[in-house]
């Protein structure tokens, strides 16, 4: 089973608007719709995708989680959203109401930092129950980038032992050295997403991360529509990893984390 841990989709009526915002030097590889994601998955041979749905404002949390729950469960695992402008109880109630198994936290777009204690208060009771996929590293202006550094994530992980965390972009987008210093070796999963594609990362860097952090703690993520899943799957298969390492990364590790059975 191949599982893409990092896919973004929006309702058809807002997908084009969601992707219209400036995204630096990144290229789009899809339209952000559910049908577009399914086509990309089929092309890449991906069985399931975790969709990362993010509410930039507290008032959008409920409708974002409603959308996550509405996605077809044969191909998608809809992750939801939380926001520290809501109470702990309001956040958890929305996740429970919509049967959400995990959340995406994106400080660049949500306007809070990883060291915000309101965020920690929400995550505290989520330990052992929800998977938290967290953007780490760059992607915005300097002030936004400083809201989600590898060092901040390390402090969060150490403060909340037992929280199931997937750190996006190998633990720090465009911050390889910081991620190596602060994140590698911690009890956290790293995803392989690196727009515009994993092919832009030197193979020896990827192999080094896998060997230092452990292949059992790496999960495949494409960041579609900002990357091409087919190309990323192909890259993972040809950069010198063992067959067992590739198997674990492409789906085995995430299937174990979520309690999914492989066909």
pLDDT digits (tens, 9 = 90+) for 112-123: 999 999 999 999
- Alpha carbons 80 and 99: distance in angstroms, whole number: 9
Which strands, in side-by-side order, build the sheet including 131-134? Answer: 102-105, 131-134, 164-167, 189-191, 218-219
- Alpha carbons 102 and 138: distance in angstroms, whole number: 23
For residue 37, the surrounding DSSP H or E stretch is helix 34-44
- Mean pLDDT calculated for residue range 206-222: 97
End-to-end CA distance of the chain: 7
128 Rama sector, left if φ>0, alpha if ψ -120 to 50, beta otherwise: left
Give the pLDDT confidence of 30-53 residue by residue, as tens digits. Answer: 999 999 999 999 999 999 999 999
Residue 26: what pLDDT? 80
143 in any annotated domain: yes
- Higher pLDDT: 141 or 75? It is 75
Give the pLDDT confidence of 155-201 residue by residue, as tens digits. Answer: 999 999 999 999 999 999 999 999 999 999 999 999 999 999 999 99
Mean pLDDT over the full length of the chain: 96
96 in any annotated domain: yes
263 in any annotated domain: no
41 in any annotated domain: yes
Its domain, for residue 149, covers: 3-258
User: Is residue 263 predicted with pLDDT exceeding 60?
Assistant: no
Residue 127: what pLDDT? 98
| 3-state SS, residue 3 | strand
- Alpha carbons 137 and 90: distance in angstroms, whole number: 28
User: Is residue 24 predicted with pLDDT exceeding 70?
Assistant: no
Q: Which residues of 164-183 are buried (b: 16+ CB within 10 A; e: fewer)?
A: bbbbbbbbbbebbebbbebb
Q: What is the CATH number of the domain that holds 94?
A: 3.20.20.140
Residue 262: what pLDDT? 59
Half-sphere exposure in the Cβ direction for 186 (13 Å, CA): 28
Q: What are phi and psi of 103, to 5 degrees?
A: -135, 155
Residue 22: what pLDDT? 61
Contact 64, 21 (CB under 8 A): no
**Total number of domains constituting the chain:** 1
Predicted TM-score (pTM) of the model is 0.96
| Residues forming a β-bridge with 105 | 134
- Mean pLDDT calculated for residue range 134-144: 93
52 in any annotated domain: yes
| pLDDT band at 27; cut points 50, 70, 90 | confident
- Higher pLDDT: 59 or 27? It is 59
- Alpha carbons 206 and 202: distance in angstroms, whole number: 7
Structure tokens at 20: 């219209």
């Amino acid at each position: 089973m191949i599982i893409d841990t990092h896919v973004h989709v929006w309702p058809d009526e807002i997908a084009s608007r969601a992707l219209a915002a400036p995204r630096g030097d990144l290229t789009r590889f899809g339209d952000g719709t559910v049908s577009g994601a399914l086509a990309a998955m089929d092309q890449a041979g991906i069985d399931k995708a975790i969709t990362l749905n993010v509410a930039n404002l507290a008032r959008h949390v409920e409708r974002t989680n409603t959308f996550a729950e509405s996605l077809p469960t044969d191909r998608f695992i809809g992750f939801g959203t939380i926001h520290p402008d809501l109470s702990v109880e309001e956040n958890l109630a929305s996740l429970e109401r919509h049967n959400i198994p995990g959340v995406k936290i994106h400080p660049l777009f949500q306007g809070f930092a990883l060291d915000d204690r309101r965020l920690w208060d929400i995550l505290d009771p989520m330990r052992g129950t929800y998977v938290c996929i967290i953007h780490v590293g760059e992607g915005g202006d300097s002030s936004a980038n400083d809201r989600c550094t590898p060092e901040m994530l390390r402090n969060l992980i150490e403060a909340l032992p037992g929280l199931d965390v997937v750190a996006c972009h190998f633990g720090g987008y465009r911050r390889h050295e910081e991620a190596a210093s602060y994140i590698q070796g911690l009890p956290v999963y790293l995803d392989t997403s690196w727009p515009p594609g994993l092919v832009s990362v030197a193979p020896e860097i990827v192999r080094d991360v896998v060997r230092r952090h452990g292949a059992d703690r790496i999960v495949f993520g494409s960041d579609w529509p900002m990357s091409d899943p087919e190309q990323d799957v192909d890259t993972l298969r040809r950069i010198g990893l063992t067959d067992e390492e590739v198997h674990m990364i492409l789906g085995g590790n995430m299937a174990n984390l979520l309690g999914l059975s492989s066909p």
